[in-house]
Structure 1
Amino acid sequence: MVLARPHVVRLLTATLVGRLPTVMVPIAVILLITTASGSLATGGLLGAVYSLTAALSQPVKGRLLDRYGPVRVSGPGAVLHAATLLALPHAAGAHRAGAVAAVVFAALTAPPLEAGLRAMWPRMLTQPAERRAAVLLDSTCSGLVFITGPLLTGALAAAHGPDAALTVAAVLGLAGAAGVLTSVPARSWHPTSRPVRASGRLLTAWLGGLVAVLTGTGLSTGAMNVWAVRLADENSAPALTGLVPAVFSLGALAGSILLARRLHRASARRHLVTGSAALQAAWFVPLLAAHHHPASGVTVAAMAVPGLFHTVVTTSVVLTVQRLAPAGRRAEAYAWLILAGGTGHALGTALAGALSTHPLGGPVLPALGAALTLAAAIRTPAHTAPGVRA
């Protein structure tokens, strides 16, 4: 069993903790700015700025990881990121420009723990079955991040204000990064020399298609988070801010358990297209529930349905990259996936914030994101990357 392999449990746990700020900070920023300015549109915009900046910087961080390793890249980043989060409430209260600058700098310095972990799997695990199992565990951990992060942020913000949520995010980010960076695999990372065939353009048709797929899923989740804030505000129920994304992530966790029974190497693309089609259909469940039962338990419970198929899509994408990414550029390839999800998330957050008083600000935008996911999945090439052995 892959969990019995050395360092696997430690790296999964530490990365899980270290990635919580990536979910907590955008929600906390939305709440912080909305409280300070009274404008959900402004809060949604700055939350989108954080997600977009963090996403756009991922390929550069991935390239640095491939070249220098996680200790030299993620270590300084984790310290600067935590310090900026602690200063963010003061910057937000002083001037809007200060808040924007702090949000951007926090995003730029966020350590690339997710890309680093995925790039370490082939270094630690020699058997293809073990690597596939590790990817599924990684997806399950991602589900836990998206369950715990919104719930923790919503609870802290309701009890102590958004400042407390940012403080806890800073502490968790530092603790998780420390757990990863003091591990043997991270400290013994040696850059892989790039073969000639891997030195060219990485964003070719196969990876570009997968980037488009995850952009659609990111748009859905970003819009969903703002919709959750809107529901909480309309119904004077702060817990909905974290409860809606958490129920979605519970569905994603269930999806990873079901997928584990059907995971085969040759079926990654079939799972991708099937999962994308199911995801598109599944978003109509909360859409109809919200129309007939606004802000009720039925609407919240319905969020688990699209979450169920979200894991199928994202796991299929990661498995494809694991098989096709050339040696020496794996972290960069995974970073493009994170860029895609983050960019889509930022776009969804910004659109939902701008349309916060319009019907499209509800679950309609997530459904549109799922439509983009399906269209991209259908068009993604089934063949391998040129010059890369499958």
Structure 2
Amino acid sequence: MVGPYRELFDVPGARGFVIAGFVGRLPMSMLGLSVVLLISALTGSYATAGAISATVAIAFAVAAPLSGRLVDRFGQARVLVPLVLLHGTALIALMLCAAYDAPIWALFVSGVFVGGAATSLGSMVRARWSHLLGRSARLHTAFSFESVADEVIFVAGPALATALTTMVNLYAGLIVTLVATLAGTIAFSLQRGTEPPVREDGARSGSPITIPGVALLSCVFLAMGAVFGSVDLITVAFAEDHGAKAVAGLLLASIASGSMVSGLWYGAQRWRISLRHRFIRGLVVFAAGLAPILLIADTRVMAAALFLAGLAISPTIITGYALVERLVPGPLLTEGMSWISTAVGFGVAIGAWAGGRLTDAFGASNAYAFSLLCALLAVAIGVGGNTLLRTPESGSEAHSPAT
């Protein structure tokens, strides 16, 4: 299973941008939590902390397609370096506002700039793989590898942020986030040899969101993001309800670990079934895997159930990005992938808000019903519009199991 992944790093320049991209996007799982831990500790209000964190997330979701479009038009280095410097400045401003007891509105304003200047570095990495590998079989493996890298980040990042903030210093989580973002993004940008070339026809093209298949995928990932956001919050409450709040991180790591394992397996396979059929089946398995968690009242059983529920996540996300790569013209590829990040970001914000209110009203176990309903909505959207996901390549593929 390791063989196909090892071959990726024979591509000239791949190791450099993969490592830099990993470091640069490690903070994506640390930023929101570090903000919540810092602001809640200083103000004593989780509501304020959550609102500022949500402001950062929503600002990123709104700005991501725009930064992706700028990258497609002017190139990665010319856009990423100014944006990451603005992001770093805004993050320093946020910490200073918190340290010197600035008015709450100042925290929200700095939060808007922190999120608005953040970049979807994962989309940039995938765009480089697409440029280097074209539509060869290795691109499937590369996208799978990046999905696994994302899951590693979401397993390690929250634990690192929590440890730094609670055991070292209240500002330590955000400081490490700042350093990793600046170092990783700048190092990534300086590797010009693997950067996709700017194609002039991209400036005259419309937005990828006007492509029906991309719009459909964005709606599906909006619903999936609501699952992710609600499950994260509800699971913390579930652990607390069962007198084991300390294991909440382990429960969340279980679902990410399941996704990581399935991503490694999925990327090592050579598939004959079409992309759109793989995507639909992944959504169905994703929804089916969530159903049992409504009936579980033991944290150990919940850990196993969440691991199983996570098994469908990476294959579905990998296939979704592959479909975007097939549906979107080359000059708009980065923006097209950024729309997936935007959809997930909005979904996470919606899911966290709804999950919190439902948990307060009906208890954690019952609130999981919202997560399942969002997963079923994703299935309904995907199945109902699956013909929009036809690609020239998938039309000629045989619909048979993987070999």
Task: With the length of structure 1 as denominator, give the TM-score of the two structures.
Answer: 0.89
Which of 40, 43, 50 is equivalent to 2:49?
43
Matched, 1:257 2:253: no
Q: Tell me the CA shift for residue 301 of structure 1.
A: 3.6
C-alpha distance 231-82 of structure 1, shift in aligned 2 (>3 A): farther
* 8 Å contact from structure 1 (residues 205, 381) kept in 2: no
- The residue aligned with 1:217 is 224
Which of 8, 11, 25 is equivalent to 2:14?
8
- The residue aligned with 1:145 is 153
Partners in 2 of 1:166 and 1:241 — Cα distance? Answer: 22
Deviates most, 131-140 or 374-383: 374-383
Deviates most, 272-281 or 230-239: 230-239
- The residue aligned with 1:339 is 342
Partners in 2 of 1:91 and 1:297 — Cα distance? Answer: 41
Partners in 2 of 1:348 and 1:162 — Cα distance? Answer: 27
Deviates most, 258-267 or 309-318: 258-267
Matched, 1:100 2:103: no
What are the equivalent positions in structure 2 for 1:8-87 lying under 5 Å apart?
8-87=14-93
Residue 67 of structure 2 aligns with an amino acid whose one-letter code is K
C-alpha distance 167-265 of structure 1, shift in aligned 2 (>3 A): farther
Identical counterparts, % of pairs: 27
Give ranges in structure 2 of 5+ residues lacking alignment: 1-6, 396-403
RMSD between superposed Cα atoms in Å: 2.7
Deviations, residues 21-41 of structure 1 (Å, cap 9, x unaligned) = 221111222223333343434
* 8 Å contact from structure 1 (residues 154, 238) kept in 2: no
Deviates most, 203-212 or 348-357: 348-357
* 8 Å contact from structure 1 (residues 150, 241) kept in 2: no
C-alpha distance 65-2 of structure 1, shift in aligned 2 (>3 A): same
Residue 301 of structure 2 aligns with an amino acid whose one-letter code is V
Deviations, residues 212-235 of structure 1 (Å, cap 9, x unaligned) = 111112111112332344456667
Q: Tell me the CA shift for residue 42 of structure 1.
A: 3.5
Q: Tell me the CA shift for residue 160 of structure 1.
A: 3.0
Deviations, residues 41-75 of structure 1 (Å, cap 9, x unaligned) = 44333322221211111110110000111111111
* 8 Å contact from structure 1 (residues 285, 305) kept in 2: no
Matched, 1:90 2:90: no
Deviates most, 38-47 or 108-117: 38-47
Which of 182, 189, 197 is equivalent to 1:190?
197
* 8 Å contact from structure 2 (residues 161, 173) kept in 1: yes
- The residue aligned with 1:244 is 251
* 8 Å contact from structure 2 (residues 276, 394) kept in 1: no
Partners in 2 of 1:260 and 1:205 — Cα distance? Answer: 27
Partners in 1 of 2:386 and 2:280 — Cα distance? Answer: 11
What are the equivalent positions in structure 2 for 1:157-172 lying under 5 Å apart?
157-172=165-180
Partners in 2 of 1:374 and 1:209 — Cα distance? Answer: 11
Partners in 1 of 2:265 and 2:392 — Cα distance? Answer: 34
Residue 307 of structure 2 aligns with an amino acid whose one-letter code is A
Matched, 1:123 2:131: yes
Q: Tell me the CA shift for residue 105 of structure 1.
A: 0.9
Q: Tell me the CA shift for residue 351 of structure 1.
A: 2.2
Matched, 1:364 2:369: yes
Residue 95 of structure 1 aligns with an amino acid whose one-letter code is P
- The residue aligned with 2:387 is 382
Q: Tell me the CA shift for residue 315 of structure 1.
A: 0.9
Deviates most, 32-41 or 170-179: 32-41
Deviations, residues 129-154 of structure 1 (Å, cap 9, x unaligned) = 12222111111111111111122122
Residue 199 of structure 1 aligns with an amino acid whose one-letter code is S
Partners in 2 of 1:278 and 1:112 — Cα distance? Answer: 27
Partners in 2 of 1:48 and 1:360 — Cα distance? Answer: 23
Give the total of aligned pairs: 384
C-alpha distance 120-46 of structure 1, shift in aligned 2 (>3 A): same
- The residue aligned with 1:318 is 321
Residue 74 of structure 1 aligns with an amino acid whose one-letter code is L
Q: Tell me the CA shift for residue 239 of structure 1.
A: 4.6
Residue 105 of structure 2 aligns with an amino acid whose one-letter code is A
* 8 Å contact from structure 2 (residues 230, 354) kept in 1: yes
Residue 117 of structure 1 aligns with an amino acid whose one-letter code is V
C-alpha distance 94-80 of structure 1, shift in aligned 2 (>3 A): same
Task: With the length of structure 2 as denominator, give the TM-score of the two structures.
Answer: 0.86
* 8 Å contact from structure 1 (residues 220, 370) kept in 2: yes
Deviations, residues 338-389 of structure 1 (Å, cap 9, x unaligned) = 1111111111122234445233655333323312221221123335679999
- The residue aligned with 1:304 is 307
Deviates most, 276-285 or 77-86: 77-86
Q: Tell me the CA shift for residue 273 of structure 1.
A: 1.1
- The residue aligned with 2:291 is 284
Deviates most, 245-254 or 279-288: 279-288
Deviates most, 354-363 or 106-115: 354-363
